[in-house]
A and B are shown apart, each in its own frame.
Chain A
Amino acid sequence: MEVFGKLANQPSSRKWLAYTLLGVGFLLAATGLRIFSYLGRSFTSPFSVLNQPNNFSDNLKMLEGQVDGLVWLAPLLLLLGGWSLLAKNSGKVITLPTFSTELKADLVAGIILLAGTLLRLLPLLPPNWLEVKADYDEGVYMMATHLLTNGYSPYRDFFLAHPPSAIYGFVPAALLGGESANLIWLARFTTVLWSAGIGWLVWLIGR
C-alpha cells in the first residue's frame, strides 16, 4: 500500500518522466533478450511467398541487432524510472523544464532525427559492419564509380542505365576508398548522410 501511496503523491510530470524511462528501458531490455524475435517466430512475412530466406523473425532480429549497442542503457533507464516513480517525494517537486511549443517540436524532431541517423549508422560500425546485406545494385554503382574515377566515361566506355548524377554522389567515397571493399563501406556512409538530410528536409517542409 505504501507503494501506491508514493505513486499517488508524485507530481504528474515526474510520473510521465518515470513511465517514459521505464518504457524505453523495457523496450531496450526486450530487444537485448531477443523477445521480439521469439514472438515473431509464429508469424510469417508476406514476403516468404517469394521464397526469400528472410522472414518476419529475421527482420526483427536484424532490427534488434541495430540497437544492440544501446542495450547497456536498459538497466540504467529501468533503475532511474523505478526510482523516479517510487522514491519518496521530499517536497522538492521535480518538474520538467518548460519549453515553448516550437522548441518542444524542435526537440522531438531532433530526437527522432538523431535516433534515425543512429539506426542507420550503427550497423556500419564494428562489430556488425560486415553483416549488412549487399544489394546487387550497390555493386553496379560502385563499379561504375570506380571506372569513372579511373578515367573511363560512362555510356561510351561502359554501360550505365542511369543518368550521371547517380554516380557523382559516390565519387568522394571512391576517391577515399580506392579499389578495396572500403569503397562500398564509405559509400554507405554517404547514403546515411543523404538519409539524415531527408529527415531534416521533411521536418523543414512540415514546419
Chain B
Amino acid sequence: MELDGINVFIGHQALLESQTNFFSLLAVYAISRQYYRYKQPPNDNQAVKKIPDLWLWVSAIALALTVTTRLNGVLVGVAITIFLIQAGYWQKVIKLGLIAGGAVLVLWLPFLLGSVLESIRQVVFFQLLREPDGISTNALTLGTITINNP
C-alpha cells in the first residue's frame, strides 16, 4: 500500500483522504492500546493509575477529528463501538461517545454560532443530495495553471 501507485498519487495531493485515514488509524490504534491495557492485570504504573483511560481519550479525540474532516468517519466510530461491545466494555462506549461528541462540538463550535442550520444544510444535505461528479477530460497541472495561464 505504501508503494502502490494510486496511493502514492493521492498521497501527495492536497486532498482530505490522507488526513481522514491518519485520524481513523490513530483512533483504531489508540483503542487497541486501551484494550490491551484493560486486559493486563493491575500494576503499580503511576501513569496508568493517573489516567487509566488515556488511550480511550486519544481514540475519542482522533475519532472526533476524523468525523470533522469527513462525515463518513462516523463509520470508524461504529466499528470501534461494535469492537468495544463485543469485547464486553459497553460502558466505555458511553464515555467514548461523550468525549468524541464534546471534541466535535469544540472543533465545530466557532462556526456553528449563527449558522447552525446552514452548516447542517451544507455539510449533510448537500453531500446526501449531490449528483454524481462529472468526468474531467483535461487534467491541469500546477505548471499549466500558474505559467501557461497567468
Contact = CB atoms under 8 A, between A and B. Distances in A.
Contacts of A194: 18-19, 21-22
A112 interface: yes
A120 B12 contact: yes
B126 interface: yes
Contacts of B123: 155, 160-163
Interface in A161-207: 161-166, 168-170, 173, 181, 184-185, 187-188, 190-192, 194-195, 197-199, 201-202, 204-205
Contacts of A159: 122
B11 A192 contact: yes
A137 B114 contact: no
Given A155-B118, A163-B68, A138 B13 contact: yes
A95 interface: no
A113 to B, nearest CB: 7
Given A160-B123, A194-B21, A187 B14 contact: yes
A28 B8 CA distance: 18
Residue of B19, B32, B70, B122 most packed against chain A (CB within 10 A): B19
Interface of B: 1-3, 5, 7-9, 11-16, 18-19, 21-22, 25-26, 28-29, 32, 65, 67-71, 107-108, 110-111, 114-115, 118-119, 122-123, 126-127, 130, 135-143, 145-147
Interface of A: 50-54, 59, 62-63, 66, 112-113, 115-116, 119-121, 123-124, 129-138, 141-142, 153-156, 159-166, 168-170, 173, 181, 184-185, 187-188, 190-192, 194-195, 197-199, 201-202, 204-205
